[in-house]
Structure 1
Amino acid sequence: MSSQAQWKLYYWYTPDSVLGVFPGRGEYVRLMFEEAGVAYEDVCKKNNSNADLLAFMKGEKPGFPVLAPPIIQQGDFVMSQTPAIMMYLGKIGLFPTGGPEEEAHAAQLLLTIHDYHFEGNMSCHPVDLHASYSTQVEEAKVTQKKFCEERMGKLV
């Protein structure tokens, strides 16, 4: 792992959460850092604010353009998109060892997890992905049942 400045993670601060942050896709990055024993700063949680995160999304911070969190930063290097972050961190020392086949299996698992995450999220927001679950509970009952019956069983 590089000896540059400490890693920074930008992901949604949610004061109502027991964790102080929204786990979501940022949790995969947190878990990877934690499992590897890599020091990182959870910026939004530390500052009790999403201001820095929103500044990245608005293009007000330097670095490669980002669309949405999670965002990682180390010095001048900035990156977003969870699968890309995970693959990058893997390439610099957090992937399993064993050659190209093991790396390919790790990438396959990574992409399966994110497909599953997306499908599960969509089952909770079948009408409008950006609207609150509470506004689409009845529709979600149908999609969640289908997701549980048709998708969850394949992964268990």
Structure 2
Amino acid sequence: MAYFLGLVLALAAFWLGMSGHNTPLILSLGGISLIVTCILAYRLDIIDREGSPYVRLVGFILYFPWLAKEIVKANLSVIRACLKADLDIAPALVKVKTVCKSDLAKVTFANSITLTPGTVTVEIEGDKLLVHGLYEQDSQPEAFVEMDQRSARAIDGKGAAA
């Protein structure tokens, strides 16, 4: 029941924040759509820890500034590669094993890799990700350990501190 109430509050706050309207007609239509959405989610039995955004708010708040810093660092590396006269990239495909347990954590980890310039997650299969990187030396599985642990901690609530 807590997940249901959390979902109602999160959707209501999101809707109010995005709509910007507070006339009675718009508020009542928004309330009706919120009720219908929550009833459908309850009937489909998709209200759980993974579907409730408020549970992981602290983890997200701690994870995304770190990810932004990593994206900036990777951007600088890719910019340097683009500005060099000789193209010295050495592309590689590597398999990266993840400690993430939930599908949401695995997707967050995979998307974090893809958001970082110079790397793309090609495939997720079980607990392994296939990653393409511009530089072989920077694309080794060990290079992704900290990101893996941080995404597992942010989403699943566990993982070694890095």
Return the TM-score normalized by structure 2: 0.26
Give the structure with the higher percent helix. Answer: 2
TM-score by length of structure 1 reads 0.26
| Greater length-normalized contact order (CA 8 Å, ≥ 6 residues apart) | 2
Larger Rg: 2
